[in-house]
Amino acid sequence: MKRLSLYASQGKSREMSFYSTERIRRPTITGAFDVGRAAPVVTWLTVCLAVAVGGFTAPSRTKAAKVGQRAVDSGSSSSNNPSDNNVPNHVIRHGDRESSMVALTFDDAPFADTLPALLALLRAENVKATFFLIGQYVERHPELARAIVADGHEVGNHSYSHRDLQRASPTLVEKEIAATQKLIHEVIGTTSTFFRPPFGNVSDEVKRICQREGISIVCWNVDPADWRKDTTRDSVVRNVLENATSGSIVLLHATQRKTIEALVEIIPILRQRGFQLVKLSDLLRDRAHREEMRSRAVGHGQAGTSSPGLSRSRTKAQVGSGATSFSLPALDLPLP
Ligand SMILES: [Zn+2]
């Protein structure tokens, strides 16, 4: 499949910069949008054009993803159920329950086919979000990783090759996390303080390394399973709108065109309901602040000790000793 030369210009890319390519075919978004309710026409047109011209092909999920499907399927009942104990307690899954904030998070970035349109939509709607980066994707498209941050979003670590780390060796877990930390630092110049485990699967080793490195493990409490073939734009809309509530962390995938289409409807409706759409760091800072205030109000001991684990500082400028020194397996996904 030919790939677009996206974001050829540096810095804050223009969403139109990728239109002048050869893949002007197969316009796929039609009048299915609820234009009148969902978004200003200009936004709709922008996204419609971006998606249509981008000629997205929803990436077929291969071995790693199928592993994930099993993992997600087996844990799907927990995704919207905070009382489920499949994920350890100190894995962050939501912000404060009294907050007006909701965080949209996008996994498996940067994915070239879909990222420009996704960024264009978020820019048009003035939404800031959190993108979890796969190290191998960052290596393939460092300019797209930088484009995410240039638009005001933040990034987190989503491992190097998207392996299920639950049963991985301590050495591999460390390499998967460290390699991507180092790439993010080298390519973007920032240090990620969030780790989202592939498929949401964690182990004691994952927790130990993240704790040592000052990285918070962040999962979610709203999961429309947007990457699955049996979900649709409408089901994604329905799932998010039914489940997103105060302090929710919404799991979405930066690889899915139907997700972009769904967001055209989701974003305005969440705002109509009074939610602020924020980055994870804002959501968790708000949670820590509220918990501290409550703690003070009831005269409990140390303020802030019940924070959700938001890393306040880093003890290491970067992690690991170099991505290129690792012998990590190739990512078994159709990389852009
Ligand atoms: Zn993922």
If you average pLDDT over residues 249-276, what whole number do you get? 98
If you average pLDDT over residues 33-40, what whole number do you get? 41
Catalytic residue among 223, 253, 282, 286: 253
Q: What angle do CA 6, 237, 118 make, to 5 degrees?
A: 10
Which contiguous run of DSSP H or E holds residue 76?
helix 63-79
Q: What residue ranges in the chain does DSSP mark as E strands?
A: 101-109, 130-133, 154-157, 194-195, 216-217, 249-253, 276-278
How many angstroms is it from 170 CA to the middle of ligand 1? 20
pLDDT digits (tens, 9 = 90+) for 90-116: 899 999 999 999 999 999 999 999 999
If you average pLDDT over residues 296-315, what whole number do you get? 52
How many angstroms is it from 281 CA to the middle of ligand 1? 19
Tell me what pLDDT residue 299 has. 76
Q: Which residue has the higher pLDDT, 151 or 25?
A: 151
CATH 3.20.20.370 fits 87-297, yes or no: yes
The structural domains of the chain, with segments of one domain joined by +, span: 87-297
CA-to-CA distance for 95 and 287, rounded, in angstroms? 5
pLDDT score of 44 more than 70: no
Provide the mean pLDDT of the chain: 74
How many angstroms is it from 109 CA to the middle of ligand 1? 8
How many angstroms is it from 250 CA to the middle of ligand 1? 13
Tell me what pLDDT residue 177 has. 97
Burial class (CB in 10 A: 0-12, 13-18, 19+), 204: exposed
How many angstroms is it from 120 CA to the middle of ligand 1? 22
Catalytic residue among 107, 151, 282, 286: 107
Residue 298 pLDDT class (50, 70, 90 cuts): confident
Active-site residue flag, 253: yes
Active-site residue flag, 300: no
If you average pLDDT over residues 150-165, what whole number do you get? 97
pLDDT digits (tens, 9 = 90+) for 131-154: 999 999 999 999 999 999 999 999
Identify residues whose C-beta is under 5 A from ligand 1, the ion: 107-108, 198
Q: Which residue has the higher pLDDT, 40 or 276?
A: 276
State percent of the chain over pLDDT 90: 60
How many angstroms is it from 304 CA to the middle of ligand 1? 31
Tell me what pLDDT residue 156 has. 98
Reduced DSSP (H G I as helix, E B as strand, rest coil) percent helix, strand, coil of the chain, to 5: 45, 10, 45
